[in-house]
Amino acid sequence: MNDRIKHLLELTLNGENYAHPNPTEFDREDVFLPKFEKESKQLCEYILNQKPIISKYSLMTGFFNTDGSVVGDMFRRKGHKGWQSISREFYCQPLNNLVTLEWQHATADYTKALSIGLNGILKEVDESIEKFDGEKKDYLIALKKVGETLIAWSRICSDKASEFAKTVQEQEYRQNLEKLAKTLQRIPENPPQNFYEAVLTVYFWFATDPDSLGTLDRYLAPFYFADIEKGTLTKEEATAYLQELFLMVQIATPHNDKRFTRGGESHFCVGGYLENGEDGFSEFSKLIIESLLDLPTWIPQVTFRWTKKTGRENFYWVMDKERKDPNKRIAFQNDDKRIKCYTEYCGFRYEDAVKYTTLGCNEPSFAGGPAGATTKGNIAKCIETLFHKKSNDIEKAKTFDDFYKIFEQEMTSDLATIIAYDRKFISKRAEDFNYLSALLFKGCVEKGLSPTQGASDTVVSSPILMGATTAIDSLIIVKQFVYDEKIVPMPTLIEALKNNWEGHEELRAQIKKKGDFFGNDTPRSNEIAQRFYASIYHFLKGKKNLFGYPILIGDLFGYNQHHVWYGANMQATPDGRKKGDSVSFGLQQTLGRDRDGLTSYLLSIAKADPNGICCGSTVTNVTIEEELVRNDDNFDKLVSLFETYFNLGGVHFQLTYVSKEDLIKAKETPDDYKNLRVRVSGFSDYFVRLNSDIQDGIIDRTQHSK
């Protein structure tokens, strides 16, 4: 980290580089204008009224925030009235304890900005304007105005940098500002010609969609390697450019916001398959990771996309970087499993499938498109329904197959309801026309559609389901205790649950002790998990969301603890869970139910979903003893284990190394553990900053020692 970056780091950590919105007054008579003309006019006036953020240490500027007075970007959705109307009623407010509205991430198509520039994009807009009439034409005219305004904004930023340079005494910093001013006369209007211009272009466009940076290594790599070969760029210079980009991404979140230390605010990928089928992890990918981890910051976070061509040396290298990162910014993804799903199940072209990224807390998206679902569902609710409302039906089941048919019918009915509400949520959001993000979102210019209206052809819809392991374990217990081993008759189990296990404490203790729970790699538990996911797969296969996107499922809770809220309003379930206890999230286990160690746990997950229906927004948290990562011999074995896990079909993992004792102490005396950082659910944060429910969930995770 050079001195310039150190100065920028200090400004960033102090919150001094945040782009505060500059209030803008609009003409009262704007109210008489047609919708598209009014919204684009006010957005353009707002942009031109903003103040570029710049210091004497800057080589980048151009970011601005909107304040809700205009229609803002796709991710933060300020000024999106359709979204606001449904979020007031349904955001984090479950309906019938089954479904609720959640946030939706998206990623811009930075390759387009780098390849044709704003001039090329505006040329495409002009061509589309000639093709359409009516509303689509009016929308495209609005997009053109916004694009032209972004060029004007770059000139404002250029002038600001030029003026500021005259006040700077240090020659190096003055020349940097002059370079910035000169470059902003060219980009983003024109395609960048070198690595610095490319990174600045990415940052400039980040203001239009301050979310994921996508597949950063693959779209910047051509500029990096070309400049290195020509001798016009050094590795040290490239590192500084990348680090400034990462610092500016960090500062996009307000310093006093609890999200300032959470990596889910911006998430990108490195590695993975390229369009030619080769592995894309390169020396430049390594430079990106090293540049990021050299900064003592939290945003962005990065996912390493593993392939069967990655090679153990590279996999070891990334895992070694992860174990040494105190801020826990690296997660891991299996490209082979995901791309197989995206090509065979979703029907995407291979060339498009390899362009996926994970964003937010681990939602999949493709360049120029959103993560295509807005719902969080409770898949464990059907278990509650069977035992507490339809117990007469399951008492008649003579075999487990009979019981499972009843369960499957109830579960798929709930899934249908969840999908129906997802359609309603998306249709309401489609009332919002977005202008700021649309220029870099696929299909918007070509089809005259807002990114909120299903413009892109390559999107995965991924409703996220809480309680999968709760449901699987409940099915296992029913099969084991009622049908296989006949330890308890169904009427007695029903009675125990309706009484919240009161009077049946011995049965509950026996279940907790001898239950063949998921995660132990036993024939019965694996068979039930596979049957559960197969039921979901066969139900969803061929079904599409409102915009015709294939539907996969996820299982993470993100920033909001839906698994806690759903569980708080649920009765007892056969897995030993009491009334009000949280339901599960992810394919993780808690309270030591996966008794047979880390290997069995990972094998169980790898085998659970051979069809890949859970290649949506899924997360696998693994908490292991610090000894396994501090000792190099043990760590080498750990790398081999996770390589096997991916080879057998595991989709994702992220690691936390801390003892349960330290977590308990941290909750009791938080001042003594301010720097203790953990992976949560697709993101990382300081343990003491998490709310009590999430802390308890992390404490309850099984800690693996082998």
Using left for φ > 0, alpha for ψ between -120 and 50, and beta otherwise, residue 311 falls in left
pLDDT in tens, 509-548: 999 999 999 999 999 999 999 999 999 999 999 999 999 9
Burial class (CB in 10 A: 0-12, 13-18, 19+), 249: buried
Residue 238 CA to residue 21 CA, distance in Å, equals: 30
3-state secondary structure 160-171: HHHHHHCCCCCH
What are 684's strand-pairing partners?
Answer: 679
User: pLDDT tens across 138-149, in order?
Assistant: 999 999 999 999
Task: Dump the DSSP string for 361-375.
Answer: TTEEEETTEE----E
C-alpha 111/C-alpha 559 separation (Å) is: 30
Amino acid at 518: F
3-state secondary structure 592-643: CCCCCCHHHHHHHHHHHCCCCCCCCCCCCEEEECCHHHHCHHHHHHHHHHHH
The confidence score (pLDDT) of residue 691 equals 87
| pLDDT value of residue 591 | 67
What distance in Å separates the CA atoms of residue 659 and residue 668, rounded to the nearest whole number? 15
Q: How much is the pLDDT for 705?
A: 64
Question: What local confidence, expressed as pLDDT, does residue 595 receive?
Answer: 82
Angstrom distance (rounded) from CA 701 to CA 582: 13
Burial of 150 (0-12, 13-18, 19+ CB in 10 A): buried
Neighbours of 642 (CB within 10 A): 20
The two structure tokens encoding residue 524: 């019965």
SS3 570: coil
Q: What is the DSSP string of 102-141?
A: ----EE--HHHHHHHHHHHHHHHHHHHHHH--HHHHHHHH
Alpha helices by DSSP H, listed for 389-451, are 391-395, 400-429, 444-447
Q: Write out the DSSP string of 377-399.
A: EETTHHHHHHHHTSHHHHHT--S
DSSP E strands: which ranges in 241-371? 267-271, 301-306, 330-334, 356-359, 363-366, 369-370
Residues near 376 by beta carbon (within 8 Å), at least 6 away in sequence: 99, 100, 101, 102, 463, 464, 465, 466, 557, 560, 562
Residues of the chain with pLDDT under 70: 589-591, 702-703, 705-706
CA separation for the pair 436, 74 (Å, rounded): 8
Q: Are 547 and 447 in contact (CB under 8 A)?
A: no
